């Protein structure tokens, strides 16, 4: 399938930079700079970016290759999860008025799980290519399941939410940084094993950095720490989402590079 073929020229670095700048300027000036926050459009744009990535992955002829197919299927699942998280963030904060600390903590947790998802996808490739055991994948999967259950529990039970330790956000941030570094290292290693990932890595690595920084912004949004410096809650929301848009834009380009693999993959 070539669903996005007519729009390929819009997914170039320059076009996406222009799009991101247009979004930033619109968010800052339309409706007095609060329209995107009040209407949930800030979350909606993130969902659109996620949707474009999902379609791009799903329509990719790299699915013809067993290794790339497994990698992309895992990525597809976690981008679906990331899209649902942004729907939840909008509904939780702007529609149902859920506890903002729980919502922001859940978003941070989702970024942590997303980085773990990258490691899981990369480990799938390493396991096949290097004939590794399934132990590491099993550990990652167990952590993912445990983290997801904690996230769900905190949202459906006030008792569980209140029992969460105060230091949990800091531990999660440390985890995102640590796993982000591990993810970057894994991407650097995999591009040496499989050159098909080389161009993809140029975009995936900075995307991980941006998502990690966005997690810190979510933390500051939940604590109000930046408000003492005159940064409004709306601006903190915008900063975190601008970082996410940039990261997703990079990944939109990066996955496109897997659609044009080099070497033997071009013959598949």
Q: If you average pLDDT over residues 145-171, what whole number do you get?
A: 85
CATH of the domain at 224: 1.20.1070
How does the average pLDDT of the chain come out, rounded? 84
User: How high is the pLDDT of residue 242?
Assistant: 96
Looking at per-residue confidence, does 188 or 104 come out higher? 188
Structural domain boundaries, residue 62:
5-267
Q: What is the pLDDT of residues 64-102, one digit of tens each?
A: 677 788 888 889 889 989 889 889 888 888 888 778 888
Could you tell me the pTM of the whole model? 0.88
User: How high is the pLDDT of residue 69?
Assistant: 82
Is residue 10's pLDDT more than 50?
Answer: yes
Q: What is the pLDDT of residues 231-249, one digit of tens each?
A: 888 898 899 999 999 999 9
Is residue 264's pLDDT more than 50?
Answer: no
- Count: domains in the chain: 1
Q: What whole-number percentage of the chain has pLDDT above 70?
A: 87
User: How high is the pLDDT of residue 133?
Assistant: 58
- Give per-residue burial for 29-45: e unless 16+ CB within 10 Å, then b: eeeeebebbeebbbbeb
Is residue 140's pLDDT more than 50?
Answer: yes
User: How high is the pLDDT of residue 268?
Assistant: 42
Q: What is the pLDDT of residues 36-59, one digit of tens each?
A: 999 999 999 999 999 988 888 877
User: How high is the pLDDT of residue 267?
Assistant: 44
User: How high is the pLDDT of residue 152?
Assistant: 82
Q: What is the pLDDT of residues 215-224, one digit of tens each?
A: 888 787 767 6
User: How high is the pLDDT of residue 13?
Assistant: 92
Is residue 166's pLDDT more than 90?
Answer: no
Exposed, middle or buried: residue 89 (CB in 10 Å: 0-12, 13-18, 19+)?
buried
């Amino acid at each position: 399938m070539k669903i996005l073929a007519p729009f390929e020229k819009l997914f170039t670095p320059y076009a996406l930079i222009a799009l991101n700048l247009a979004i930033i300027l619109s968010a800052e000036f339309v409706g007095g700079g609060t329209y995107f926050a009040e209407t949930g459009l800030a979350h909606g744009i993130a969902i659109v970016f996620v949707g474009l990535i999902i379609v791009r992955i799903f329509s990719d002829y790299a699915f013809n290759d067993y290794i790339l197919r497994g990698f992309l299927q895992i990525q597809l699942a976690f981008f679906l999860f990331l899209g649902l998280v942004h729907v939840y963030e909008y509904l939780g904060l702007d529609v149902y008025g859920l506890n903002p600390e729980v919502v922001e903590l859940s978003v941070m947790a989702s970024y942590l799980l997303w980085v773990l998802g990258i490691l899981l996808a990369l480990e799938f490739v390493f396991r096949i290519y290097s004939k590794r055991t399934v132990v590491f994948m099993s550990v990652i999967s167990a952590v993912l399941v445990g983290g997801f259950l904690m996230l769900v529990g905190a949202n459906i039970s006030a008792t569980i939410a209140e029992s969460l330790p105060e230091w949990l956000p800091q531990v999660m941030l440390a985890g995102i940084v640590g796993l982000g570094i591990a993810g970057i290292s894994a991407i650097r290693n995999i591009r040496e094993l499989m050159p098909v990932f080389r161009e993809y890595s140029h975009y995936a690595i900075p995307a991980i950095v941006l998502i990690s920084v966005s997690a810190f912004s979510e933390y500051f949004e939940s604590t109000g720490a930046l408000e003492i410096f005159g940064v409004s809650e709306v601006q903190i929301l915008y900063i975190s989402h601008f970082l996410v848009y940039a990261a997703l834009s990079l990944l939109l380009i990066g996955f496109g590079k897997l659609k044009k693999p080099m070497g033997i993959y071009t013959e598949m």
